[in-house]
Amino acid sequence: MENSLIRHIIDKSIYIDNIETFREIISSEPNNFDLLAEYADFLVVKNQKELAWKIYGEAAQGFLKTGHQLKSMIMSLSQWQLRKPSKEEVSIYFSLISEVENKQTKFSVFINQLSTAEKFALLCKIKREKCPVRHLIKRPGEIETKVSFVIRGELKESCFELLTTKRAQTAGPFKILVEEDTFGNVYPFSREQKSNSYVETLTYVQTAVVSKDDLRTLCSVYPNIEKAIIQLCAIRKRDSGINGMALRKSVRYSINVEMKVHVNGNAPLTGTTSFTGYSKDISISGVGFVACNCTKTTRDEICQILEQHLRIDVNIEFSSHGLSLSTPGAIVRLQENIEDGLKTVVFGIEYTNLPPNLLGHLFSFTKLISNLPIGSNLAN
C-alpha cells in the first residue's frame, strides 16, 4: 500500500466510504495506529458501534505501547463514550499508563502529576476538535476560553506584543507546535486572559480541548489539577522567555507612509470619522499613525472611549503615487508627541483579522512604498 494513500486517508484529503475497502487497507497496515483510529471514527459514523468500541481499544493499546500517551487516552475516551467502563477497567488502564515510559512532553508532564481519579475526571471533560490545513484557530486580542493539547498534526504559533500590553517579553516570532504540545492560557480563572498569538494549522490537526469553565469546575473539586495547570502555564512562560524577545521592539521601524484611516460606522465615535496623515512607525502587528486632522474634541472623545476599554474599529489605507493597500484594524491607544515644535496626535492601531503570512506581506509593502516621497496633500 502506498504511504501517500495512507497519509491522505489520515489527513482527510481522501475519504473511504466503504467498510470492506477500509478493512482491506487496515489489514495491509496493521501497525499504523493513526489509520486504525480513523477506521474507528469511520465505524462510528457508519453506526457500527460494537466494532468501533473494539477498534478504539486496540488503537488505545497500540498508542500506549508506542509512547503516544495523549492519543491513547483519546482513544480510550472514545471507547468509553460508546460503553461506560467499570471502575476496574479505568483503574487497570491508568495503571498501564503509569507503567509505560513516555517521552517528556508538555502533556505528559501535566497529566503525570494527577491521580487516577483526577485523570479520569479531566479526560471526561475533554472534547476532540478537528481542523483542516491552513485553518486559523485563534488570533491576538481574543479572550482565551480553552486549553488545547495537540493530538496529531502541526500548527504554527506566531506571538505578538499587543499594543495594549506592557509586558517586557513575549515568545519568539513563531514556533511549531507538534503532538502533545499545548496552547491557550486561561489561568487565573478569576480574570479574562487575552490571546497574544495567532495559531494556524500547517497540516490536518486534531486537538484535545478543555474549556475554562470545565477546568474551573474540576479545580474546585480536585485542587491538585489546579496545581498542575499552574505548572503548565509556568512551563509555557518559561519556554517563551528563555530565548524570547520583545517582538514589538524587534520589528518596530521608523517607516513613513502616507495613510488614511476611516472609522467604521459601528464604532462609538461621534466626531471626525476620517483621518489623513502618515505612519510614524510600523511593526508586524500594528502602526503608529500621525493624524494630521484630529481636532481636540475628537481627541478627547477617543481618549474617553479607550478608557472604557472599547474598540474603535477602523479601515487603514496605505498609499503612495497611485499604489494603495487597505486592511482592517482597531485604534487601541492615543498619545501626543512634540515634533519639530508642533504637537502631534498619534494613534496606536493594531491590525485585525490578518493571518501571519499576510502580515508579512503588509509589512513588506509598506517598507517598499516608504522609499517614495510622501505627498504634500496629507491634510486635505
Is the distance from CB of 58 to CB of 34 less than 8 angstroms?
A: no
Q: For residue 260, give the nearest of 339, 311, 170, 325 by alpha carbon.
A: 325
Integer Cα distance of 62 and 34 in angstroms: 10
In terms of pLDDT, which residue wins out, 144 or 361?
Answer: 144
In terms of pLDDT, which residue wins out, 347 or 341?
Answer: 347
**Which pLDDT band, with edges at 50, 70 and 90, does 371 fall under?**
low
DSSP, collapsed to helix, strand or coil, labels residue 129 as strand
**Average pLDDT for 89-94:** 95
Residue with cell 512604498: 369
By percentage, how much of the chain surpasses pLDDT 90?
50
Q: Is the dihedral of CA 248, 249, 250, 252 positive or negative?
A: positive
Q: Is the dihedral of CA 364, 368, 370, 374 positive or negative?
A: negative
pLDDT of residue 357: 63
- Return the C-alpha cell found at 24: 482491506
- Return the C-alpha cell found at 303: 481618549
Point out which residues pair with 345 in neighbouring strands.
Answer: 291, 336
Integer Cα distance of 201 and 135 in angstroms: 5
User: What does pLDDT average to over the chain?
Assistant: 84
Integer Cα distance of 327 and 353 in angstroms: 9
DSSP, collapsed to helix, strand or coil, labels residue 373 as coil
In terms of pLDDT, which residue wins out, 339 or 88?
Answer: 88
**Average pLDDT for 87-108:** 88
pLDDT of residue 365: 80
pLDDT of residue 13: 87
pTM of the predicted structure, to 2 decimals: 0.63
Integer Cα distance of 283 and 360 in angstroms: 10
pLDDT of residue 9: 93
Is the distance from CB of 207 to CB of 151 less than 8 angstroms?
A: yes
Kindly give the residue spans of alpha helices, DSSP state H, lying in 163-260. 212-221, 223-242, 247-250
In terms of pLDDT, which residue wins out, 268 or 71?
Answer: 71
pLDDT of residue 353: 73
Q: Is the dihedral of CA 14, 18, 20, 21 positive or negative?
A: negative
Evaluate the omega torsion of the peptide bond into residue 188 and state whether it is cis, within 30 degrees of 0.
yes
pLDDT of residue 77: 98
pLDDT of residue 285: 75
Nearest-5° angle of CA 331, CA 334, CA 336? 150
Is the distance from CB of 376 to CB of 300 less than 8 angstroms?
A: no
Integer Cα distance of 136 and 156 in angstroms: 10
**Average pLDDT for 105-131:** 95
**Which pLDDT band, with edges at 50, 70 and 90, does 249 fall under?**
very low
Integer Cα distance of 126 and 129 in angstroms: 10
DSSP, collapsed to helix, strand or coil, labels residue 174 as strand
Integer Cα distance of 154 and 341 in angstroms: 52
The arrangement of strands across the sheet holding 136-138 comes to: 136-138, 197-201, 155-159, 174-177
**Which pLDDT band, with edges at 50, 70 and 90, does 1 fall under?**
very low
For residue range 49-73, list pLDDT tens digits in order.
Answer: 999 999 999 999 999 999 999 999 9
For residue range 196-216, list pLDDT tens digits in order.
Answer: 888 999 999 999 999 999 999
Q: For residue 123, give the nearest of 91, 165, 78 by alpha carbon.
A: 78
pLDDT higher than 50, residue 379: no
For residue range 321-344, list pLDDT tens digits in order.
Answer: 778 888 999 998 888 776 655 678
pLDDT higher than 90, residue 307: no
**Average pLDDT for 96-105:** 81
pLDDT of residue 88: 95
Is the distance from CB of 316 to CB of 259 less than 8 angstroms?
A: yes
Residue with cell 485604534: 331
pLDDT of residue 245: 33
Give exposure, 85-99, as e/b (b: 16+ Cβ within 10 Å): eeeeebeebbeebee
DSSP E strand stretches across the chain: 127-131, 136-138, 146-152, 155-159, 174-177, 182-183, 197-201, 205-211, 258-263, 274-282, 286-291, 312-320, 323-339, 342-351
Integer Cα distance of 7 and 34 in angstroms: 9
In terms of pLDDT, which residue wins out, 5 or 22?
Answer: 22
pLDDT higher than 60, residue 312: yes
Size of the chain, expressed as the number of residues it contains? 380
pLDDT of residue 373: 54
